[in-house]
Structure 1
Amino acid sequence: MPAPGVPLERQGFLTLGTYDGADPAPGHEYLLREIVLGEELGFDSVWLRHRHFQSGISSPVAILAAASQRTSRIEFGTAVTPLGWENPLRYAEDLGTVDVLSGGRMNPGISVGPPIHWDDVKAGLYPDTADVEDLTYTRVERLLRLLRGEPASTFSGVDGIESFSDYVQPQSPGLADRVWYGGGSRRSVRWAGEQGLAMLTSNVIQSEGHDLGDDASRVFAQIQHEQIGLFRSVHPLGEAARVAQGLVVIPTDSATADQKARYAAYVEHRTPRTAVAHGPRQMLFARDLIGTSEQIAEQLYANPAFREVREVVWALPFTFEHDDYVQILTDMATKLGPALGWSPGASGATGKGTP
């Protein structure tokens, strides 16, 4: 589920944030307003994605710290933080701080592997240690241990007039139980399930030898369906393990003629990439869904992966304008969500959600 007649339990949205590199302040302010709007519309969660060296959000935790002071209920997530960009100890401090500020609303979404354009950025990121940095799953395990309060220092006690702990501060109980993993391959979803993490599906996955035939979109949904089943089969919670599906959807119910034309051009430009596999790992891209909320709901119900999830994180298109996001978020909350059986507050979210 959900299937027709079975309500969607939770609805969130994901954004990269957009701004003018020559004048970044207005774009960041618009993003904060969109998060506040999301709460007012009843969304269960908002998720921020990293965009390093681009005019998109490079520090989601900083934005979410600010958003925590303008909101009271909506949950926060990162979708996803590539840990290759982060020092796990420092990142644990940042996550703990935002979780405390928000009253326990933080849901860290993470992944591993070398950062994009690794050969170009490694000297700037790790000038002395790039060749020995561990960018594997052990980096996630380190972060989880730190969030759980396991010792990170060999010293604790009083030094002069200052007191020190041997574990990361601040500690926020339950935060480690709200970590999500962004998986796109059988190996990654199996590992995440075995660790007891929650799972964020991606709109980019590995084809892993599947014959694409003449319908790559169908194969994408099939692979994602298989990955969700594998994840739950090894997760300690089994079928109760949390999985959130992420797709780009653009409802046009209240869009103007100009918006509809621009949205259609955006989707048309991106659609050809969904027909073939890309790169050495044969990556597949999900097709963007555009139309009225009823039309999008019909397409979602035909997707076998969607029928396996109880919650969604709709990805907002990159490069749109603030007014476009207001229209899309409003239609998602007032048209698309209800078409899928969702209603504001139905999840019983209190800001303390756990996988």
Structure 2
Amino acid sequence: MPTPSEPLEQLGFLTIGLFDGDDPAPGMESTLRVIELGEQLGFDSAYLRHRHFQTGISSPVAIMAAASQRTRHIAMGTAVTPLAWENPVRLAEDLATVDLLAGGRIHPGVSVGPPMNWEHVRGALYPDTADAEDFSYERVLRFVRHLRGTPASTFAGTRGTEQFSARVEPHSPGLADRVWYGAASRRSAAWAGEQGLNLLTSSVVRPEPADERSDGTWDFAAIQAEQIRAFRADHPAGARARVSQGLVVIPTDSATAAQRATYAAYVEARQPRTARPQGPGLLFAPDLLGTSAEIAEALYAHAGFREVREVVFALPFSFEHDDHVQILSDMATKLGPALGWSPTVGRPAVAAR
């Protein structure tokens, strides 16, 4: 599910918010305009990648705060925020603030593990506590507890003329139920299910050795489907637990000849990495390029897609603003309807079930 007889419920997109390092503002403005366009087209959600020491969004909370004042309905989230870079108390404060400004539309997606390029950034990030920092699942649980309003301070009351709370303020009811975990392995997907979190799957999985087939090939879709089933098997909500699938999807219905050539070259250059696990054991999904009818047919044949009711398709990060406009427009007007989806223009975005 969904199947041709069962409509897709939620259609979202993901962007990295690329900018020019010598002139960042235009790229950030482009990201805000893309989110505005997403709302106008009726998308259910817009997600932001989280990047550090790169020319992509390093502060999605700030971007979502700005976008919250330009939009009214579209949900916004992160896919994902690596918690190793964050203080869970401070992140909870920031996200609760933005969620209240947005009217309850924020969906934090998080992950754990040491920061990327840890050996190079540890001195700047944690100069005094690097060896003591806990980058395990516990960091997620701390973050969720703060969102839920569990006491974080041992003091509550009045000091002089100032009043203090034991919980993180502001508190945004319901935000903790909208936390998503970005899992790449079967183990992490099952853990997210045990914790009652929502699950973000993407175009990257970390397969088990047993997933390699006898002919030496790997089936990304089958591996992803197994991870989703493992998540739901351990989730209190079972089959109703929320899972969002993220693949790179490039519809070409209204693309110009030049755009189609650019897109084809992009997909061809990335294709070799889908043959076998790369680097630290990561397997990448093939990008889906073609007309909306062709992409819909490929998705209905995709074992991972058949396990979900909602998707967050990734925009190719290196494309131009006009390319993103064309792709989003085709997604909303061609691909979405081909999957049975209908736009959400004029009605509130879905929060947690």
- Matching residue of 1:104: 104
1:18 and 1:335 map into 2 onto residues whose CA distance is: 26
Please say if residues 103 and 351 of structure 1, whose CA atoms lie closer than 8 Å, have aligned partners that are also in contact: no
Aligned counterparts, 1:200-349, within 5 A: 200-209=200-209, 210-212=211-213, 216=217, 219-280=219-280, 282-345=281-344
2:213 and 2:50 map into 1 onto residues whose CA distance is: 30
Q: Aligned AA for 1:165? A: S
Shift of 1:279: 2.7
Shift of 1:352: 5.2
**Gap change, CA 1:185 and 1:349, over 3 Å in 2:** farther
**Gap change, CA 1:349 and 1:146, over 3 Å in 2:** farther
- Matching residue of 1:354: 352
Please say if residues 13 and 46 of structure 2, whose CA atoms lie closer than 8 Å, have aligned partners that are also in contact: yes
| 1:253-307 Cα shifts (integer Å, max 9, x gaps) | 0001111111111111111011111234x21001100010001111111111101
1:253 and 1:9 map into 2 onto residues whose CA distance is: 22
Shift of 1:345: 2.3
**Gap change, CA 1:224 and 1:286, over 3 Å in 2:** same
Does residue 33 of structure 2 align to residue 45 of structure 1?
no
Using structure 1 for the length normalisation, give the TM-score: 0.97
Q: CA RMSD in A?
A: 1.4
Q: Aligned AA for 1:320? A: F
**Gap change, CA 1:136 and 1:72, over 3 Å in 2:** same
**Gap change, CA 1:132 and 1:325, over 3 Å in 2:** same
Q: Aligned AA for 2:205? A: I
Q: Aligned AA for 1:211? A: E
* 2:52 counterpart SS class: coil
Shift of 1:215: 7.9
- Matching residue of 1:80: 80
The size of the alignment, in residue pairs, is 352
Please say if residues 146 and 152 of structure 1, whose CA atoms lie closer than 8 Å, have aligned partners that are also in contact: yes
1:250 and 1:352 map into 2 onto residues whose CA distance is: 25
Where does the alignment leave 5 or more consecutive residues of structure 1 unmatched? none
1:14 and 1:304 map into 2 onto residues whose CA distance is: 21
Q: Aligned AA for 1:326? A: V
* 1:18 counterpart SS class: coil
Shift of 1:207: 1.5
**Gap change, CA 1:240 and 1:147, over 3 Å in 2:** same
Identity of matched residues, %:
67
Q: Aligned AA for 1:310? A: R
1:90 and 1:50 map into 2 onto residues whose CA distance is: 16
